[in-house]
């Protein structure tokens, strides 16, 4: 799977903060996927403009105590891609 490029959401999914759930969620016609805080932070940066490298750099700047996040971000984006939540441009 090629994860180079720019992730964008599959149009069938809508990413949003759900106040009632107190977390980020992905909404789709058949239901809702409740995201953990790490997944929410990553997907909050998916805007169709930022590359995977830019998303990783922004997260590393936001969470400097976490160290290198490249492998973790890449792994999650891979899972999100396999689940068809996102596409790579």
Beta carbons within 8 Å of 83's beta carbon, 6+ residues apart: none
Place 1 in a pLDDT band, splitting at 50, 70 and 90.
low
pLDDT digits (tens, 9 = 90+) for 13-64: 999 999 998 999 999 999 999 999 999 999 999 999 999 999 999 999 999 9
Q: On the CB side of 58, how many CA atoms lie within 13 Å of its CA?
A: 12
Q: What is the largest CA-CA distance in the chain?
A: 38
Ordered DSSP codes for 18-58: ETTTTEEEEEETTEEEEPPHHHHHHHTT-SSSS-HHHHHHH
- State how far the alpha carbon of 71 is from the alpha carbons of 11, 23, 60, 77, in Å: 26, 24, 12, 10
Structural domains in the chain plus CATH codes: 10-83 (1.10.10.1150)
């Amino acid at each position: 799977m090629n994860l180079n490029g720019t992730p964008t959401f599959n149009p069938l999914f809508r990413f949003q903060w759900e106040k009632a759930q107190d977390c980020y969620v992905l909404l789709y016609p058949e239901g809702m996927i409740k995201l953990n805080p790490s997944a929410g932070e990553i997907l909050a940066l998916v805007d169709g403009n930022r590359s995977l490298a830019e998303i990783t750099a922004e997260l590393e700047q936001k969470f400097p105590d976490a160290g290198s996040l490249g492998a973790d971000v890449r792994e999650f984006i891979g899972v999100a891609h396999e689940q068809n939540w996102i596409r790579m441009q």
